[in-house]
């Protein structure tokens, strides 16, 4: 892995886009610099776990549910202690009420999908209880082993376990540490395993069942390893309530502000490219209604990198404000399905 891909500043690491997205997940969207976005204070409060607090409710009465902003800078970062990825986005409110998308916004979805991972390859697996047991090994999906790891020599000339295909894998993490794993191909049926070195990695990284392991290979052929953490209860409060309230206040008075976004399966983006918001508004009027069939993408638990996206299918039960008292007319979670509230 190229050393210049990671820059450590205090407790933060600024990392290469392809590495960041590998740990964030394929469905995470980061608005590009100079794009026009809609900032949803309601979603920001929710992201910080403070949507029902007195401070949030008092602030909500003074702030619009949607504030158009220009993205002036984006930093893709990772906490060097937990290796959890997040992004810092600096926004400048747009004082004129312009609901039209810019050309950059229209091209956003295509350009992002083309450039999301650069020349790096990565594959992932959600860790099972057996994988996360620090006394065991890691069962490697066949495609991951054959795509990311160097090729094994499958030509066995002598019987015996010691003659089964095996090799040492050197993988660099985002701190720059090198991890040595023994990669073997054995068992009945035959399968790829990481044995020696895996238990040490599990203990040091404090991984648990449900975390996602990310193995990648860059354009130089170097292997790297990262973790996409399942959300921990102890991480609640990592975004200070004061910073959220200050961001919402500055946005409402037209001054520049900064937000942090921690992607996970249970959090939702609250800075959304305007072209997406405007398209959704049109659909709210012309297409969406009770009984409308819908589908929503989600990343599957056993993502292999080939078919990483599954689809939730259902129908709209109602179209209504989730909090009409404090955010009347808001698009945030306005579509109600029988099982969930759907973000725009």
Does residue 153 lie within any of the structural domains? yes
Region of 288 (left: φ > 0; alpha: ψ -120 to 50; beta: rest) is beta
pLDDT score at 34 = 93
How many domains, the chain? 1
Domain CATH for 221: 2.40.330.10
Say what the pLDDT of residue 45 is. Answer: 87
pLDDT of 284 reads 76
Specify the pLDDT at position 192: 94
pLDDT score for 299: 66
- Which residues fall within 8 angstroms of residue 206, CB to CB, at 6 or more apart? none
User: How far is it, in rounded angstroms, from Cα 118 to Cα 136?
Assistant: 34
In order of 173, 215, 244, 251, the CA distances from 19 in angstroms are 10, 10, 27, 31
Residues of the chain with pLDDT under 50: 1-10, 97-119, 157, 303-307
Asked whether residue 34 is domain-assigned, the answer is no
Q: What is the pLDDT of residue 82?
A: 73
Q: Does residue 286 form part of some domain?
A: no
By CB atoms closer than 10 A (0-12, 13-18, 19+), residue 174 is buried
Extract the tokens encoding 321. 């404000």
**DSSP line for 225-256:** EEEEPPPPGGGTTSS-HHHHHHHHHHHHTT--
Q: Would you state the pLDDT for residue 270?
A: 92
Asked, for residue 131, whether it belongs to a domain, the answer is yes
Give the pTM: 0.75
The dihedral through the CA atoms of 286, 291, 292, 295 has a sign that is positive
The parent domain of residue 146 ranges over: 121-228
Instruction: Answer whether residue 217 is part of any domain.
Output: yes
Task: Decide if 160 is inside a domain.
Answer: yes
In a domain, 82, yes or no: no
Cα distances (Å, whole numbers) of residue 336 to 124, 265, 278, 296, 332: 32, 19, 19, 13, 11
Q: 215-247, pLDDT tens digit by residue?
A: 988 888 889 898 888 766 555 557 778 888 899
Q: Please give the pLDDT value at position 100.
A: 44
In a domain, 181, yes or no: yes
Query: Before 189, cis peptide (omega within 30)?
Result: yes
Q: How many CB atoms lie within 10 A of CB 53?
A: 15
């Amino acid at each position: 892995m190229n050393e210049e891909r990671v820059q450590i500043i205090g407790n933060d690491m600024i990392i290469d886009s392809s590495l960041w997205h590998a740990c964030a997940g394929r469905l995470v969207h980061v608005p590009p610099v100079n794009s026009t976005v809609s900032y949803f204070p309601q979603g920001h409060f929710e992201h910080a776990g403070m949507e029902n607090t007195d401070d949030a409710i008092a602030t909500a009465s003074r702030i619009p549910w949607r504030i158009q902003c220009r993205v002036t800078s984006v930093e893709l970062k990772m906490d060097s202690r937990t290796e959890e990825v997040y992004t810092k986005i600096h926004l400048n409110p747009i004082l004129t009420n312009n609901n039209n998308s810019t050309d950059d916004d229209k091209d956003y979805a295509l350009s992002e999908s083309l450039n999301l991972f650069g020349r790096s390859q990565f594959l992932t697996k959600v860790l099972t209880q057996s994988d996360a047991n620090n006394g065991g090994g890691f069962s490697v999906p066949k495609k991951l082993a054959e795509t990311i790891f160097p090729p094994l020599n499958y030509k066995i000339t002598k019987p015996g376990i010691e003659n089964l295909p095996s090799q040492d894998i050197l993988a660099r993490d985002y701190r720059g540490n090198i991890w040595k794993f023994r990669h073997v191909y054995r068992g009945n049926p035959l399968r790829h395993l990481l044995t020696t070195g895996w238990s040490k990695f599990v203990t040091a990284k404090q991984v648990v069942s449900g975390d996602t392991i990310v193995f990648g290979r860059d354009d130089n052929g170097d292997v790297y390893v990262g973790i996409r953490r399942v959300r921990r209860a102890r991480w609640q409060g990592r975004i200070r309530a004061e910073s959220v309230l200050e961001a919402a206040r500055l946005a409402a008075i037209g001054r520049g502000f900064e937000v942090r976004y921690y992607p996970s399966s249970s959090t939702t983006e609250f800075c959304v490219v305007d072209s997406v918001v405007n398209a959704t508004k049109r659909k709210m009027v012309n297409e969406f209604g009770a009984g409308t069939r819908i589908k929503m993408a989600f990343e599957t638990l056993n993502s292999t990198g080939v078919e990483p996206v599954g689809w939730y299918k259902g129908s709209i039960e109602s179209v209504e404000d989730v909090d009409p008292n404090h955010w009347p007319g808001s698009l945030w979670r306005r579509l109600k399905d029988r099982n969930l509230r759907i973000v725009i």
